[in-house]
Amino acid sequence: MGTDNSSLFGSLFDAPPLKRVVPVLVPLPVPVPYSYAVPEGMHVEPGSVVQVPVGPRQLIGVVWDGESQDGLDPKKLRPITLAFDCPPLSKEMRDFVDWVAAYTLSPPGLVARMAVRAPAALDPEPMVEAVRYVGGQPERLTPARVRVLDIVKAEDIPWTRSGLAHAAGVSMSVIDGLTAQGVFETVFLPPPPVVAKPEPDYTAPRIEGVQKEAAAEIVASIREGGFSASLIDGVTGSGKTEVYFEAIAETLRRGKQVLILLPEIALTPAFLERFQDRFGAKPGEWHSDLSPRMREKVWRGVVTGEVRVVAGARSALFLPFEELGLIIVDEEHDPAYKQEDRVFYNARDMAVVRGRIGDFPVVLVSATPSVESQVNGLSGRYNLVQLPTRFGDAALPDLHLIDMRRHAPERGGFLSPLLLRAMGRTLERKEQSLLFLNRRGYAPLTLCRVCGHRFQCPQCSSWLVEHRFKSQLQCHQCGYHQHTPEHCPDCGTFDHLVACGPGVERIAEEVEKHFPDARTIVMSSDILGGVKRMRLELEAIANGEADIVIGTQLVAKGHNFPLMTLVGIVDADLGLANGDPRAAERTFQLLSQVTGRAGRTGLKSHGLLQTYQPMHPVMQAIVSGDASAFYEREINEREKAILPPFGRLASIIISAETRADAETHARGLRAAAPRVTGISVLGPAEAPLALVRGRHRFRLLVHGRRNSDMQAFLRVMLDAGPKQRGSVQVQLDVDPQSFL
DNA sequence: AGCACGCCGACT
DNA sequence: GTCGGCGTGCTC
């Protein structure tokens, strides 16, 4: 008896069961799992989702593999609070989390958290209460009761109370009354599926010729089984979607789940309907403005395997599928695949990794592949599938450059006479024009005509953009804004401000001057009324309720406007000289997308690009429709100096008071990492970034010959000391070849 | 990531 | 005299 006795004999004879200790990844920025005691009677295994105490809080964690940390007193470990009733994360998923954490230098717990982000979904959905007819008659038959009984006799299935009441046209109390009489029994049904199961052969594929061959090629790689990476490179309207739908169909036939990744902006009702037309049901959706309830249902459906296909934005990559068998990355070049906070990753590349680890195919899709993917396609690392022609009646628009040095706009204007004439003809044909200018507001720079004062953001020193509709000067970097002043703050002169350069609002003004009777609409992200209004406007445009649309990026993606037969690019050179090493690539992608908005219904369509650099490779690639020379040049450029081989590049954000400080910092980092081949600094003027507490944020581009050199460099930087760690953020931006 | 602790400026 | 700013440190 007593403690003496048990300590004397306990270890030899009647030892209390050894407290089991397991490692648990907690959602904290710590490098290792924490250790927890498993309470008696609780079952956990690697992958189990649990709730654990951390300090004063209860957090959701995941039981991990390996030994728990040593050097901790097992008796002092706190117990796991509870284990959720949901399937554990698979070994594949755990390996994926570990891989991503190691590759992106992120705390594994923060990566794991992305996989279990629907806390309320961790317990099963409650059963649904229903009634079932057991026979017999109630004591008194009323007309309402007769109607109910007719229905259940005709269809002897369990009915939900509200469903039956609705079908019979009676109130719920009628049903409850019959239940009380013993005519119905109460049964519990599993909750209804969140989405119906898509059927691979719901309708026949609408593909022919080249599309058919391409589909056959990808389907073959799926049948073969195992990992493969393919790149579908197909011009806008070439039937890329139909081709990868066949890959999805084949995966569904083989009983595996499918993930379709899309940039958030491309995840439209139109896309979901297109999927439904082919497969008879919508895919599960996963994006940032999903309701919490829906998020839980989809998450649950994904882990249990009930949801067979998910269409989602980048975060969907971390959903713990029960048996994932295919990932499609549509618009693979889109920068929205990069997450640039907390865990820095590119979902496109991590998708390839997930396929590699899970041993299933990954298909990247784009009309304008990223240079990295293009290299992987050309080198054979990825299976390159090209769709060079448009499908069906969709003709490529006829594209021409307008050399602005020869066809200058009239004084004070920005639209060339050639473009204005084309717009006039389009109006006469009662077709639509789109003018694209990737700049919000009225004018990007305002100055005082008398003293030359330039309006600059007091917080981050970039130019203030005039927004005339709102009478504001806005900083597009940090969000600072002020009412447009009437006096110059420097010399006090009244009404002497002059706007420099165009924004969409100013173009709208010019258009209204030339075409006062046309219905003109400006589409930009600062449209009042939010997403809902935006959707309505886009729909109205598609229905032909506008003649001239003037828009930023926003109109470039996703939406189809059947009557749009003229696309004018106001300043095709914009963005070419902003210091971003990917400027040419981005411009090419954006211009391709915008010009691709036209000509999708067989109407003859045109694209006119205003440029001061008609010989620039981007312009030549766009008008010739042949991008191969452009890609070749971009690849060479990266090989040479700017971004040594294909994105073995780290982009790091640091904050400093002046550019000189940032450059000194960069030199220090360079000295600490001799194997890194170059560090360049992009400051607010070239690649504007937000300002943090009186300090400007700069982006360091660090290039290395080998991925491992980059990793070593970043480790050095992270270990540089707590003073730096606070102000230095790391983003890895590396190409997928090192995955394979 | 949160949350506490701890040390110096402007105020009810 | 305090209230409160955010730098630093800790969580099994």
Strands A649-656 and A676-682: unpaired
Alpha-carbon torsion angle A51, A53, A57, A62, nearest 10: -40
Q: Which residue is nearest to nucleotide C8 (CA to C1')?
A: A722
Q: How far apart are CA A566 and CA A738, in angstroms?
A: 43
> Was domain A128-189 assigned CATH 3.30.1490?
no
CA of A693 to C1' of B12 (A): 27
Nearest CA among A120, A142, A52, A365 for reference residue A232? A365
Q: How far apart are CA A335 and CA A240, in angstroms?
A: 20
Q: Would you call A721 helix, strand, or coil by DSSP?
A: coil
Note the pLDDT of residue A19.
76
- Residue pair A37/A80 in contact (Cβ under 8 Å)? The answer is yes
Strand B positions closer than 7 A to protein CB: 1-4
Q: Which residue is nearest to nucleotide B2 (CA to C1')?
A: A57
HSE value, Cβ hemisphere, 13 Å, CA-based, for A533: 10
Specify the amino acid at residue A6.
Answer: S
Q: Would you call A84 helix, strand, or coil by DSSP?
A: coil
Nearest CA among A287, A245, A248 for reference residue A266? A287
A500 labeled binding residue: no
pLDDT digit string (tens) for A245-301? 999 999 999 999 999 999 998 898 889 999 999 999 999 999 988 888 899 899 999
The count of other CB atoms within 10 Å of the CB of residue A521 is 17
CA of A722 to C1' of B7 (A): 19
Strand C positions closer than 7 A to protein CB: 7-12
CA of A56 to C1' of B4 (A): 11
Query: CATH fold of A398-439+502-637, please?
Result: Rossmann fold (3.40.50)
CA of A61 to C1' of C11 (A): 14
Q: How far apart are CA A251 and CA A222, in angstroms?
A: 7
- Tokens 């003859």 locate to A604
Nearest CA among A202, A237, A240, A244 for reference residue A221? A244
- Residue pair A610/A402 in contact (Cβ under 8 Å)? The answer is yes
pLDDT digit string (tens) for A514-551? 999 999 999 988 777 777 788 888 888 888 899 999 99
CA of A642 to C1' of B5 (A): 47
CA of A331 to C1' of C3 (A): 53
- Listed by range, residues with Cβ under 7 angstroms from strand B are A 28-30, 55-57, 342
A86 labeled binding residue: no
HSE value, Cβ hemisphere, 13 Å, CA-based, for A129: 8
Homologous superfamily assigned to A7-116: PriA, 3(prime) DNA-binding domain (3.40.1440.60)
- Listed by range, residues with Cβ under 7 angstroms from strand C are A 28-30, 34-36, 53-55, 68-69, 72, 77-78, 693, 722-723, 726
Q: Which residues of A276-289 are buried (b: 16+ CB within 10 A; e: fewer)?
A: bebbebbbbbbbee
Specify the amino acid at residue A19.
Answer: K
Q: Which residue is nearest to nucleotide C6 (CA to C1')?
A: A693
Q: Which residues contact A689 (CB under 8 A, 6 or more apart)?
A: A477, A653, A696, A697, A698, A699
Domain boundaries, chain A: 7-116, 128-189, 210-387, 398-439+502-637, 647-734
DSSP class of A336: G
Q: What is the pTM of this model?
A: 0.88
Query: CATH fold of A210-387, please?
Result: Rossmann fold (3.40.50)
Note the pLDDT of residue A644.
38
Phi/psi of residue A690, nearest 5 degrees = -70, 165
A448 labeled binding residue: yes
| Segments in chain A below pLDDT 70 | 1-18, 119-122, 391-395, 458-461, 477-478, 558, 578-580, 599-602, 639-662, 672-711, 714-740
CA A188 to chain centre: 39
Q: How far apart are the first and last CA of chain A?
A: 63
Could you tell me if residue A70 is left (phi over 0), alpha (psi between -120 and 50 degrees) or otherwise beta?
beta
The domains spanning A128-189 and A398-439+502-637 adopt the same CATH topology: no
CATH class, A647-734 region: alpha beta
**Burial of residue A404, with CB atoms counted within 10 A of its CB: 0-12 exposed, 13-18 middle, 19 or more buried:** buried
